[in-house]
Amino acid sequence: MTPLLRIEDVHKEFPTQRREVVHAVDGVSLEVRRGETLGLVGETGCGKSTLARCIARLYDVTSGSVWFDGHDITSSSRRELRALRRSVQVIFQDPYGSLNPRRRVGSIIGDPFAIHGIAAGPERKKKVQELMELVGLNPEHYNRFPAEFSGGQRQRIGVARALALRPKLVICDEPVSALDVSIQAQIINLLADLQHEFDLTYVFISHDLSVVRHVSDRIAVMYLGKIVEVAPTEELFGQTRHPYTRALLSALPVADPDTADSREQIILAGDIPSAVGPPTGCRFHTRCPKAGAVCGSSEPPLEPVLDDGPEHRTACFFPLTIGENLSAAVLKAS
Amino acid sequence: MTAIMEVVEAPQIQGRSPFTLAMRRLRRDKVAMVSLAVIALIVLMAVFAPVFAHLTGHPPNEQYRDTGLTPDGLPRGPDGTFWLGTDDLGRDVLVRIAYGARVSLLVGVAATAITVAVGIVLGLAAGFLGGIVDTVLARLIDVVLSVPFLLVAIALVSVTGPSLTITVLVIGFFSWASVARIVRGQVLSLREREFVEAARSLGAGDTRIMFVDILPNVLAPVIVYTTLLVPVVIVTQATLSFLGLGLPPPTADWGGMINEAQAYYTTAWWFILFPGLALLITTLAFNLFGDGVRDAFDPRADRS
Ligand SMILES: Nc1ncnc2c1ncn2[C@@H]1O[C@H](COP(=O)(O)OP(=O)(O)OP(=O)(O)O)[C@@H](O)[C@H]1O
Ligand code: SF4
Ligand SMILES: [Mg+2]
């Protein structure tokens, strides 16, 4: 079966005022399978949102191709995109910025119906109120303005709007990052329930690995515009291959005593390099405790390493073996 | 005692829009409310101008050469027949002021409406579409704002001849640019907001985004500007009339009356005073009301 979404060698560059080029997404290939949740993690500025917008075709990609449901949508016309919008929806990070402050919640959630000419008048109102109920909002609040809701409720509004047209793929761009921890779980559970009910496929973006671990079937780790490791969730945690992934994991509080012994605290040296002139070779070599001479000159391909199956791919010349301690590498390096 | 069963309807929860809140603040503003009452009176006067004619028995353009002028042919002062006196042709000043209100208000509303409609559409287009559209419109705005208005107005009217339509068009043509500039400035920042991208991700086109998503967010400054624009337009219309570029005689209008009264200000004070007062009171009322609207929409704006 063809994957729901497949992107191949997607690049997205932004020109800056100083005639430089930001390589926000720099050659990403990925597939998203029907019904799964693909987690996408990485530090701030690594290009997660840009990649999400390329997938949703809110941006034109600089190069590469995007395939949705077996169709190449890389250079779809406006008209074709309109149809695509019904199948691919985005839930945005900022529940304050993504809702129009001057419009009533009922019309915001009703927008998809209005835009695609699906329902009008009392019928639209009925559909909107059903949606509100579905996401746990009081349908009587139909006439309220976004400012009259809490952050969590606003994100529910965003979810209702995204689900209105029964999309196949929903891209959740840090849907809970702006919310209180106590509220995060509610929204995540809501998303999980809805996925179950409507057979949704999610791309779930977060910089918080613990959230991603909780919701994802597979996880892709991104660093400076590239995917450095992708694997089924438990494998990524159990058989971490990439030093960067390990560094991200080490920042998590220990939840599982079994893996606690192999846990160490790794603090990455230096800042994340600029996406304007990214490092040559392996992007991570400027901060990597295991970096060798080859790392600065050639780029490691994203492929299965050691004895990993085809599901687990890593872009690293010196992948970690199970049980290997990164701090040992730090010592060796120094 | 009878038990009364009351069916309590579930309260329809009505959101309080920023607009509702502004209106609430406006209603508490005494000066604005008094000004609004004055404006209402002027509107009533304009609407019921024929009633004034009926009560006094004097149609606005009827010249009472015997009863309305002194034996030397000068205007008559206020008395029982001509409550606010007569003008140089023996016409009833009160009735003409009432009819003049029609012109002032009509031009004030029509020219402002054109101005605002054009300004909003072009401002939205310039700010939202950007690129070449913006470059062209932004230059056009600069040009219009730097053209000497009266000079061009005089030249234009001398070509076309004075009429109500040309007055409205001239004023509208020279005023839209300020509205467009305000709107454009707001849109430039609004279009970067995430809700615009959200609308796009739902499949909304440019036109819908401009008018459904962005427009409601620029309305507040436009409403404020509009209420302050009406008195400016009224004065402009009076100025054009005063310069003889208003409505062709004998139509009564305040600027024209003041013009005709110039020669008589020593001999017939009422002839110049009452139309002048009418103009002053009207513009003052609109200005004070406009200030109230501005404060209501932006309570933090300083009142200097
Ligand atoms: N419209 C744009 N124009 C120029 N540069 C951009 C633009 N959007 C993103 N960038 C740059 O591209 C890089 C990736 O940004 P992006 O927003 O995709 O990161 P992110 O992973 O989503 O980060 P965050 O976790 O903060 O949301 C950053 O260096 C950012 O400055
Ligand atoms: S390729 Fe080299 S620099 Fe890059 S992550 Fe692996 S060891 Fe580190
Ligand atoms: Mg982001």
Residue B299 has pLDDT above 70, yes or no: no
Disruptive mutation site among A50, A111, A157, A203 for chain B (greatest number of B CBs within 10 Å): A111
Quick one: closest CA in B to A110, which residue?
Answer: B202
Q: Name the DSSP letter for residue A72.
A: E
Query: Of A194, A222, A250, which marks where a domain is finished?
Result: A222
Same domain, yes or no: A35 and A166: yes
Sign of CA dihedral A193, A198, A201, A207: negative
- The answer to whether residue B177 sits within a structural domain is yes
Nearest Cα of chain A lies from the Cα of B216 at a distance, in angstroms, of 6
Residue B200's closest chain A neighbor by CA? A58
Contact A144, A129 (CB under 8 A): no
Show the domain range for B123.
29-63+82-254+271-297
Q: Kindly tell me if the per-residue pLDDT of B76 is higher than 80.
A: no
In a domain, B10, yes or no: no
Contact between chains at A116 and B203 (C-beta distance less than 8 A): yes
Look at residue B1 in the predicted model and tell me its pLDDT: 42
For ligand 2, atom 3, which residue shows the shortest CA distance? A285
At residue B303, the pLDDT reads 44
Can you give the pLDDT at residue B10?
45
**Which CATH number covers residue A89?**
3.40.50.300
Pocket test for ligand 2, best of A221, A284, A313 (most atoms within 8 A of CB): A284
Question: Is there a domain that residue B142 lies in?
Answer: yes
Residue A277 pLDDT grade (very low, low, confident, very high; cuts 50, 70, 90): confident
Same domain, A175 and A280: no
Average pLDDT, chain B: 83
Looking from the CA of residue A244, the nearest atom of ligand 2 is 5
Ligand 1 atom 13 nearest Cα: A24
Query: What three-state secondary structure class fits A9?
Result: strand
Average pLDDT over residues A147-174: 92
Task: For residue A314, give its domain range.
Answer: 241-333
The pLDDT of residue B304: 40
Q: For residue range B193-214, list pLDDT tens digits in order.
A: 999 999 999 999 899 999 999 9
Characterize A167-189 residue by residue with b for buried, 16 or more Cβ atoms within 10 angstroms of its Cβ, and e for exposed. Answer: bbbbbbbbbbebbeeebbebbbe
Q: pLDDT, tens digit, for every residue of A218-271?
A: 999 999 999 999 999 999 998 999 999 998 888 766 555 555 445 566 667 667
What are B10-68's pLDDT values in tens digits?
445 566 777 788 888 888 888 889 999 999 999 998 888 888 777 777 777 777 777 76
What six digits make up the tokens of B152? Answer: 């061009």
Q: Which atom of ligand 1 is nearest to the CA of A50?
A: 18
Give the total number of structural domains in chain A.
2
Where does ligand 1 bind, in terms of residues with CB under 6 Å?
A 14, 22, 24, 42, 44-50, 207, 275
Amino acid identity for residue A256 in this structure: D
Residues A207 and A267 in one domain: no
Question: Is residue A49 pLDDT above 80, yes or no?
Answer: yes
Mean pLDDT in residue range A90-115: 91
Cβ neighbours of residue A266 under 8 Å, at least 6 residues apart?
A246, A247, A250, A289, A326, A327, A330
Partner-chain contact B198 A85, CB within 8 Å: no
Domain annotation covers residue A234: no
**Confidence at B281, pLDDT banded by 50, 70, 90:** very high
Length of chain B: 304
Give yes or no for residue A209 having a pLDDT over 50. yes
The tens digit of pLDDT for each residue in A24-39 reads 999 999 999 999 999 9
For residues B23 and B114, what is the distance between their CA atoms, to the nearest angstrom?
A: 24
Query: In this structure, is residue A233 part of a structural domain?
Result: no
Tally of structural domains, chain B: 1
Give the model confidence (pLDDT) of B143-186 as tens digits.
998 988 888 888 888 888 888 888 888 888 888 999 999 999 99
Q: Is the pLDDT of residue A286 over 80?
A: yes
Mean pLDDT of chain A: 88
Angle ∠(B180,B24,B119) on CA atoms, nearest 5 = 10
DSSP secondary-structure letter at A143? B
Write phi, then psi, for A87 (nearest 5 degrees): -95, -25
> The whole model's pTM is what?
0.82
What residues of chain B have any CB closer than 8 angstroms to a CB in chain A? 10-18, 193-195, 197-205, 208, 212-213, 216-217, 219
pLDDT at A254: 57
| B262, part of any domain | no
Sign of CA dihedral B146, B152, B154, B156: negative
> Is residue A227 domain-resident?
no
Whether B76 is covered by a domain: the verdict is no
Asked whether the beta carbons of A150 and A182 are under 8 A apart, the reply is no
Within 8 A of B217 by CB-CB distance, chain A residues are 100-102
Please list, in sequence order, all residues whose beta carbon lies within 8 angstroms of the beta carbon of residue A288, skipping any fewer than 6 positions away. Answer: A243, A244, A282, A295
- Integer Cα distance of B35 and B289 in angstroms: 6
Q: Is residue B107 part of a domain?
A: yes
Q: What is the pLDDT of residue B8?
A: 43
Say whether both A112 and A254 belong to one domain: no
Element (H, E) at A68: strand A63-68
Whose CA is closest to atom 1 on ligand 2?
A: A316
Yes or no, beta carbons of B203 and A94 under 8 Å apart? no
Q: Which residue, A166, A168, A167, A208, is CA-closest to A187?
A: A208
Give the pLDDT of residue B130.
Answer: 87
Of the residues A226, A318, A320, which should be mutated to test ligand 2's pocket, given the most ligand atoms within 8 Å of the CB? Answer: A318
Within a domain: B69: no
Does A256 share its domain with A204? no
* Helix extents (H) in chain B: 18-27, 30-47, 49-56, 93-129, 131-146, 149-160, 164-190, 194-201, 206-208, 215-242, 254-261, 269-297
Per-residue pLDDT tens digits for B220-231: 888 888 888 888
Residue A139 lies in a domain: yes
Q: Is A57 left (phi over 0), alpha (psi -120 to 50) or beta?
A: left
Ligand 1 atom nearest residue A46's Cα: 21
In a domain, B264, yes or no: no
Assess A140–B contact: CB distance below 8 Å, yes or no: yes
pLDDT of residue A260: 47
Pocket test for ligand 1, best of A11, A14, A174 (most atoms within 8 A of CB): A14
Identify all chain A residues contacting B14, using CB atoms and an 8 Å cutoff.
143
Asked if residue A113 belongs to a domain, the reply is yes
Distance from CA of A306 to the nearest CA of B (A): 41
Residue B283 belongs to domain with CATH number:
1.10.3720.10
Q: Which residues pair with A202 in a beta bridge?
A: A37, A170
Out of A58, A98, A138, closest to residue B195 by CB: A98
Among candidates B124, B48, B41, B103, which has minimal Cα distance to B233? B103
What is the share, in percent, of chain A residues with pLDDT greater than 90? 56
**Inter-chain contact A102–B10, Cβ cutoff 8 Å?**
no
Contact B197 A92 (CB under 8 A): yes
